[in-house]
Amino acid sequence: MVASTPLGSKPRSTGARDGGWADLHTHTIVSDGTLSPAELVQRAREIGLGALAITDHDTLEGLLEACRASETLGMWVIPGVEISVDGEEGRSFHLLAYGASASNPRLAAFLEGLQKRRECRNLQVLEKLAKLGFPLERPMGQFGIPGAQLGRPHIAMALVRRGYVGSIEEAFSRFLAKGAPAYVPRQRPKYSEAIGEVLAAGCVPVLAHPHSIGLQGFRELEAFVGKLVEAGLMGIEAIFPEGGPAMKEHCEAMSRKWKLILTGGTDFHGDIKPHIQLGWGRGTLRVPFSWAESLAEAVERVRPRA
């Protein structure tokens, strides 16, 4: 159970230990993915992944179901969560927290604050859309999942369903993207607060898909990561669909410099991002299984002792 075993069950019978692979960044229906947690675990088992981390946005809601499925199917699931963070200097980034436990009151309280801000922002976006002549019903949760965290992708889907736009991409470019008329900026916790909270909750803070910070070149990235390391960052996502061999090498260099663990994942979202496949990304991604093991060791180091 998530409550007692932050690492989920860790069966060694998948045959994936040597030369196996992992996907350490995925989303389910409790945020903006389209598979249920159990379906995602099942899919991971089917494609032969040795380890799967589930990292929904701002919520631990899917972890219990995932953990049950992991026990039934003999699939190793690492519980996590992904949060949006203010990196200062006008930059934001995504922080992954691994070893998340649904029974951790400190983490739950921190996430609850983020969920309230998210809900408030969603309502502001809907108000703007209504004023623009594109009203949507509330709630717009198309799946009716209790506790699911809704965001711009769900609003985009609702706009498509109502026939206001032809695609999710169009919904973003016409209304929801930064600078578009229904865009509302999100209030994010400062990076130092977020990393501190993740550590205090006994989880491993990892910088997700570093390309998305919008930094120019590796020198800027290194300076930025150095700032996060000072705040307690423990790892960096070095393999992800938008990152190539040069990014991986640079992350490996930073890993040596600051003893950061390396992680990797597809950021799988199911049908919302149909070009990204679980485990494979755009077709060629391969995250070593040993990285999942290093991550698990890091989780063991920081997890609260009972």
Binding residues vs Zn ion (CB under 5 A): 27, 32
Cα-Cα-Cα-Cα torsion 304, 290, 78, 152, nearest 10 degrees, comes to 120
The reply to whether 273 sits near Fe ion by the rule CB under 5 A is no
Say how far apart CA 7 and CA 245 lie, in whole Å.
29
| Residue 58 or 82 with smaller CB distance to Fe ion | 82
Token pair, residue 233, equals 């960052």
Candidate residues 43, 45, 94, 250; the one interacting with Fe ion per rule CB under 5 A: 94
Stretch that binds ligand AMP, among 14-22, 75-83, 164-172, 187-195 (CB under 6 A): 164-172
Q: Which 180-219 residues touch Fe ion, going by CB under 5 A?
A: 208
* Shortest CB 184 distance to Zn ion, Å: 17
Contact 38, 64 (CB under 8 A): no
Q: Does 237 bind ligand AMP (CB under 6 A)?
A: no
Question: What is the per-residue burial (b if ≥16 Cβ within 10 Å, else e) of 85-95?
Answer: bbbeeeebbbb
| Residues 31-50 close enough to bind ligand AMP by CB under 6 A | 32
Q: How far apart are CA 12 and CA 40, in angstroms?
A: 19
> Does residue 267 bind Fe ion (CB under 5 A)?
yes
- Per CB under 6 A, the list member of 25, 43, 68, 152 interacting with ligand AMP is 152
3-class state of residue 59 by DSSP:
coil
Q: Which residues of 136-147 are buried (b: 16+ CB within 10 A; e: fewer)?
A: beeebeeeebee
Q: CA–CA separation, 226 vs 208, rounded Å?
A: 15
Among candidate residues 185, 189, 199, 228, the one with its CA nearest the CA of residue 86: 189
168 binds ligand AMP (CB under 6 A): yes
Least distance (Å) from ligand AMP to the CB of residue 237? 15
Closest distance to Zn ion from the beta carbon of 49 (Å): 19
Told to check if 153 binds ligand AMP by CB under 6 A, we report: yes
Residue 86 interacts with ligand AMP (CB under 6 A)?
Answer: no
Beta bridge partners of 250: none
Instruction: Between 7 and 239, name the residue whose CB sits nearer to ligand AMP.
Output: 239
Binding-residue total with ligand AMP (CB under 6 A): 10
Question: 3-state class of 98 per DSSP?
Answer: strand
Q: How far apart are CA 262 and CA 233, in angstroms?
A: 12
Q: Provide the minimum distance between the beta carbon of 3 and Zn ion in the complex, in angstroms, as a whole number.
A: 25
End-to-end CA distance of the chain: 15
Q: Is 83 in the site for ligand AMP (CB under 6 A)?
A: no
User: Which partner in Zn ion, ligand AMP, Fe ion, none is near 98 (CB below 5 to 8 A by kind)?
Assistant: none
Q: In angstroms, give the least distance from the CB of 83 to Fe ion.
A: 9
Which position among 33, 87, 151, 241 is part of the footprint of ligand AMP (CB under 6 A)? 151
Which of 86-94, 108-116, 174-182, 280-288 is the region at the interface with Fe ion (rule: CB under 5 A)? 86-94
Contact 297, 306 (CB under 8 A): no
Per CB under 6 A, residues contacting ligand AMP are 32, 57, 151-153, 168-169, 172, 177, 186
Residues within the interface to Fe ion (CB under 5 A): 82, 94, 208, 267
